[in-house]
Amino acid sequence: MLVDMHRVSCLDLSVTEDIADALKRIQESFKGTHGCLGQRLLRDLEHQERFIVVSYWRDKESSASANALHAAIDEALDLLKAKSTANVYEVIHDL
């Protein structure tokens, strides 16, 4: 299993809800995508302008779908003037 984490931050606090709404819509549009096992949207408790988009993928072959998710997130964030970084992790131990 792969875990994809997209960290999002925005300096303009007036658009944080717009960012959250855009990320929710993007996640909904990828629901049921081949290889996608689920997704979460997290918000930092202390810094409400920071989010993490987490998606779980079956295997490396699903990475094409993960790349499409990244592209959709990047496009939406560009419009809202937010910045992000993304990493994909392989689960090596799960309890």
Q: What percent of the chain has pLDDT over 90?
A: 65
pTM for this prediction = 0.87
Domain 2-90 annotated CATH 3.30.70.100: yes
Q: Note whether 26 and 40 are within 8 A (CB).
A: no
Q: What is the mean pLDDT of the chain?
A: 91
Residue type at 5?
M
Model confidence at 20, in pLDDT bands (50, 70, 90)? very high
**pLDDT tens sequence across 30-70:** 888 889 999 999 999 999 999 999 999 999 888 788 888 88
Q: Is residue 74's pLDDT more than 80?
A: yes
Interior angle at CA 76, CA 75 and CA 80, nearest 5 = 120
Q: Is residue 13's pLDDT more than 90?
A: no
